[in-house]
Amino acid sequence: MKHQHILVIRFSAIGDVAMTVPIVWGVAQQYPDVRITVLSRAFARPFFENLAPNVNFMEADLKGEYHGVKGLNRLYRRLAAKQFTHVADLHSVLRSNYLRLRFNLSHFKVEHIDKHRKMRHALVNKNMKKKVKQQLPTSFENYTEVFAKLGFPIEKNLFTSIFPPEGGDMTQLPELFRDKKENEKWIGVAPFAAHQGKIYPKEQMKEVVRTMVANHPDYSIFLFGRGKEEEETFNQWTKEMPQCTFVSQHIENLRQELILMSHLDVMVSMDSANMHLASLVNTPVVSIWGATHPMAGFLGWNQDKDNTIQLDMECRPCSIYGQKPCIHGDFPCMKNIRPEVIIEKIEKVLL
């Protein structure tokens, strides 16, 4: 009998790939004799390389070696040679659809994610008479369904973290991050996101950080984010508030970032990748939502819904991913959230 080997395809952004981790782990744990190979972009390697003995990672450079139809054909031939028995397309976009077509034509057992597009459209409909505010299946449920259709249902998924209960190995971090005192509180703050509709105003977030520093001078605040705006903002904040540390100025790679996150007491994040990264290391997240909504199914793994912060507005959610322009022009769904509300929620988690 041919040894069962599942190919899992998920490209996309870092947060989306991170959300596959608990489900891949669940399948790997329940079916230890089944090999699983995750095909993704190079950045995702730290998620999977030590996840389980039967999980492997394969990177695909879609902008270089496997660019275009010729590149995808080259990638397919490489994949087909590995003799997979099942293919789980957890992305269902043009590139993965093409690979899926090739596998189908070659009579592989293939299943793909149902994104519930009609339900999504109804959730964000601008016409309030047609808008349907209801909880959509989560990404985790959608991923689980794909494996069930392939013949690998997960009865119970007990994933908590990619690290042991005590967190990641702090000796792998720069010396600055190795000395956490017994009763010291470490707070992560990730105030940026890919789209404006998911970003809490900078000055209001600065007020949150300033108040936390003033009320708790013994706390340490770690600022997460990479990019020009993040650098300008965080350099200013660290000058004004010495308790703050701009993480990417000291951390070398995603693996180290995940280790640091595993030792935080709380992460304050938008609906963004950092919410999902913190979720993978069992760190509670206070998440702030504007144009998007947890109803769309993208709340982090095992995160408490009581730790979400959002305003009850008729127009919300107006976007699944946060990229659409605001009908009011200035995202009142974000700017009208008072800093005190966020501070109160952080304090509650830290109790």
| Residue 171 and residue 178 in contact, taking contact as beta carbons nearer than 8 Å | yes
Which parts of the chain sit beneath pLDDT 70? 1-2
- Helix 21-30 to helix 139-150 angle, to the nearest 10 degrees? 30
**Rounded distance, CA 226 to CA 214, Å?**
26
List pLDDT tens digits, range 249-279.
999 899 999 999 999 999 999 999 999 999 9
Q: What is the pLDDT of residue 181?
A: 87
- For residues 317 and 92, give the distance between their C-alpha atoms in angstroms, rounded to a whole number: 23
pLDDT of amino acid 2: 67
Give the Cα separation of 339 and 345 in Å (integer): 10
Question: For the chain, how big is the Rg over CA atoms in Å?
Answer: 21
Q: Concatenated DSSP letters for 156-196?
A: ------SS-TT-S-GGGS-GGGS---TT--EEEEE---SSG
Going by their DSSP bridges, the two strands 35-40 and 55-59 should be labelled as parallel
pTM of the model: 0.95
Give CA–CA dist 138/120, Å, rounded: 12
pLDDT of the residue at 182: 83
Closest CA to 334 of 350, 348, 318: 318
- Report whether 23 contacts 104 (CB < 8 A): no
As a 3-state breakdown, the chain gives helix, strand, coil percent values, each rounded to 5, of 40, 15, 45
344 vs 59: CA distance, rounded Å: 42
CA dist 214 and 210 (Å) reads: 6
Phi, psi of 160 (to 5 degrees): -125, -45
Tokens representing 319? 């976007």
The DSSP bridge partners found for residue 267 are: 188, 285
DSSP designation for 33: T
The pair of structure tokens assigned to 76 is 């397919």
* Residue 37 pLDDT: 98
Can you tell me the distance from the alpha carbon of 30 to that of 304, in angstroms, rounded to the nearest whole number? 25
Q: 109-112 and 35-40: which strand pairing?
A: unpaired
Q: How far apart are CA 146 and CA 50, in angstroms?
A: 23
